[in-house]
Chain A
Amino acid sequence: MKILVVDDEKDIQVLFEQRFRKEIRSGEMNFVFAYSGNEALFYLGQHKHEAVLILSDINMPGMSGLQLLHEIKSNYKTPPPTVMMITAYGDEESYNKAMSEGANDFLTKPLDFNLLKEKLKNI
């Protein structure tokens, strides 16, 4: 399973690689990282239909996670990739906005990786 993680915090890569080290070692999961919305769109443009799951931060300089979500949901329809939003804004407004834009799930920081793993297994 190829997963694209989008966040402007660079340490997120080390964190994911350590948290999912077993899954990565077994080849069960494959992570790609992008540090901005534009970078994520560029990657998706280059590697069509590769990433089945996108985990995106909302609050990023430049293109926000919600804009990215909007772009993905309107440009990549068949098959639509699963998009989960991960944000430090745990308020209801952010949640509603993300859901109305078509997000498949909504997680808040600090991220509970056990919960995330649980969700990934059920996809």
Chain B
Amino acid sequence: MSLEFILVIVVIRQLRKKLETAKAFPKWDKILLTLTIAAVCLLALQIAFSGYTSLIIWLSYLIWFYLIYIVFSRNEYITAKPLIFAILPYIILSLVNDILQQASKEIYKSWSNFLDAGIFFSIVWMVAMWIIGNKQKKALEKEKQIRLEEERQSKLTAMLKDQLEIQVAERTAELTQQKEELQHALTELKSTQAQLIQSEKMASLGELTAGIAHEIQNPLNFVNNFSEVSSELLEEMQAELDADNKEEAFNIAADVKQNLEKIIYHGKRADAIVKGMLQHSRSSSDKKEPVDINALTDEYLRLSYHGLRAKDKSFNATMNTDFDGSIGKINIVPQDIGRVLLNLFTNAFYSVSAKKKNLGNDYDPAIWVSTKKEVNKIIIKVRDNGTGIPQKVLDKIYQPFFTTKPTGEGTGLGLSLSYDIITKMHGGTITAETKENEFAEFTIELPV
């Protein structure tokens, strides 16, 4: 029976391989190696003495039991147990077989069929166990592979996650910086806007100054001359009274009274102009007050007209006004509505002046300004027969910085600010109707 020795060698080899004893338990590895050598020697002996050598067989059993003892007594060999279970039936049956053979030939003979069958089945068992074990091993390996793969994947995921987190942190920092930059830009824009509004006011004030000068010189002319002539008249009146010419003295007195009224009227006229100018330059208080819209409109119409005339002596236009006297006073912010009107008038005059330059004497520049009271609202219309507004720019006219004037002549803020003043501050509307080269008409509706 040399099968036991071969089995011992195979099993020990399996054990050493499976448990990696060389690395894990060097002490046991030595023992196992010794056992292998012993088994090889015994095998060699058995072959050499070819025949039945009971001592060798018993030695082989000793090796076997020692091996089994090791496997079952030590925890570290727990994984080797299935191997031992596969072999154990065969070993036991072989042992029984050998014992019976030695003990009693009679019994052995009567049992030998059973024992042979048993040994056969134990070999089948061994092979079956081996196959199952192999399969399990493969399955385990596969599972291990999967686990490794999963581990690799999860490591990869973790790495990606880390990378992602770094990227997110970077982006967040970038975004925060951008947000801060934008906020800064917004603050700057707001202050620039405030400055621009102020400079737009000043620009339109500049347009006004010539008009204002003219508008003040004219009343001043009357104030100065009527007061001078009145003092002369009073001297004359005295002379008439001395000459006892009472009737003539009364006539002169009436003239003086009339003159004084004119002085008051023109003095107030100059006063209103200066006040209007101051109001225009002042930053808006946003405070609404009752205002005679007709007077305001008329004042700004005159100012803008004379302003333009001061710059361009050849310019002139017919101004047609139609004021609805029933309006009375309405609640508005006068300097702001004044700016809107001034802007519309300046644009209208600019437009007719441009057309006049092109067409010459065949064209009569004209501007129409009207106010009208309707239910719950008043309507102000400013119309000119100038160049009109091309359709393609009509929807851009309220955009900030949009201007059709040459660089330096317009800020492009006039209509944009006007739009804000009318719609946001006064809850009204401003609309334009136009036909190119024929007319432009702006309509302001203010709720009352």
Which residues on A are within 8 Å of B, measured CB to CB? 9, 11, 14-15, 18-19, 58-64, 66-67, 88-90, 93-94, 97, 108-111, 113
Chain A residues lying within 8 Å of B64, measured Cβ to Cβ, are none
A108 to B309, CA, bound (A): 16
B 13-32 contacts with A by CB, 8 A = none
Contact B314–A66 (Cβ < 8 Å): yes
B residues contacting the other copy or chain, number (CB 8 A): 31
A97 to B315, CA, bound (A): 13
Query: Which 4 A/B pairs are nearest by Cβ-Cβ distance?
Result: A88-B217, A110-B221, A109-B221, A110-B224
Q: Known contacts A11-B222, A11-B266, A61-B319; decide if A89 and B310 are in contact (CB<8 Å).
A: yes
Chain A residues lying within 8 Å of B34, measured Cβ to Cβ, are none
A100 to B239, CA, bound (A): 47
Q: Least Cβ distance of A38 to chain B in Å?
A: 10
User: Does B101 count as interface, using CB distance less than 8 angstroms?
Assistant: no
Using CB atoms, name the residue of chain B closest to A94.
Answer: B313
Chain B residues lying within 8 Å of A58, measured Cβ to Cβ, are 313
Contact A88–B221 (Cβ < 8 Å): yes
A94 to B311, CA, bound (A): 10
Q: Known contacts A14-B262, A18-B233, A109-B217; decide if A61 and B225 are in contact (CB<8 Å).
A: no
A9 to B269, CA, bound (A): 13
Q: Known contacts A19-B229, A111-B225; decide if A14 and B258 are in contact (CB<8 Å).
A: yes
Q: Least Cβ distance of B185 to chain A in Å?
A: 44
User: Does B259 count as interface, using CB distance less than 8 angstroms?
Assistant: yes
Partner of B218, one of A9, A14, A63, A67: A9
A14 to B257, CA, bound (A): 13
B 291-329 contacts with A by CB, 8 A = 305-306, 309-310, 313-319
User: Does B350 count as interface, using CB distance less than 8 angstroms?
Assistant: no
Q: Known contacts A59-B306, A88-B213, A88-B217; decide if A64 and B314 are in contact (CB<8 Å).
A: yes
Partner of B262, one of A11, A60, A61, A62: A11
User: Does B395 count as interface, using CB distance less than 8 angstroms?
Assistant: no
Q: Known contacts A113-B225, A113-B228; decide if A88 and B218 are in contact (CB<8 Å).
A: yes
Using CB atoms, name the residue of chain B closest to A60.
Answer: B316
Contact B225–A88 (Cβ < 8 Å): no
Among B221, B223, B317, find the residue whose CB has the most chain A CB atoms closer than 10 A.
Answer: B221
Using CB atoms, name the residue of chain B closest to A109.
Answer: B221
Partner of B313, one of A9, A18, A97: A97
A18 to B262, CA, bound (A): 13
A15 to B221, CA, bound (A): 10
SS class, residues of chain B in contact with chain A = helix
A-B contact pairs, 17 of them (CB 8 A): A11-B222, A14-B258, A14-B259, A18-B255, A19-B225, A59-B214, A61-B305, A61-B316, A64-B315, A64-B316, A66-B314, A67-B314, A88-B214, A89-B210, A89-B214, A111-B221, A111-B225
Contact A110–B220 (Cβ < 8 Å): yes
User: Does B226 count as interface, using CB distance less than 8 angstroms?
Assistant: yes
Known A19-B229, A109-B217; 10 more pairs at CB < 8 Å: A9-B222, A11-B222, A11-B266, A14-B259, A58-B313, A59-B306, A67-B314, A88-B218, A89-B214, A94-B313
Chain A residues lying within 8 Å of B220, measured Cβ to Cβ, are 109-110
Q: Least Cβ distance of A82 to chain B in Å?
A: 21
Contact A61–B318 (Cβ < 8 Å): yes
Contact B309–A59 (Cβ < 8 Å): yes
B 125-173 contacts with A by CB, 8 A = none
A97 to B313, CA, bound (A): 9
Chain A residues lying within 8 Å of B318, measured Cβ to Cβ, are 61-62
Bitwise, B182-218 to A at CB < 8 A (1) or not (0) is 0000000000000000000000000000100110011
A63 to B313, CA, bound (A): 11
Chain A residues lying within 8 Å of B314, measured Cβ to Cβ, are 64, 66-67
Using CB atoms, name the residue of chain A closest to B310.
Answer: A89
Contact A110–B258 (Cβ < 8 Å): no
Q: Known contacts A15-B225, A89-B310; decide if A109 and B316 are in contact (CB<8 Å).
A: no
Q: Least Cβ distance of A49 to chain B in Å?
A: 26
Q: Known contacts A11-B222, A66-B313, A89-B310; decide if A110 and B319 are in contact (CB<8 Å).
A: no
Chain B residues lying within 8 Å of A109, measured Cβ to Cβ, are 217-218, 220-221
B 76-111 contacts with A by CB, 8 A = none
Chain A residues lying within 8 Å of B213, measured Cβ to Cβ, are 88-89
B 234-284 contacts with A by CB, 8 A = 255, 258-259, 262, 266
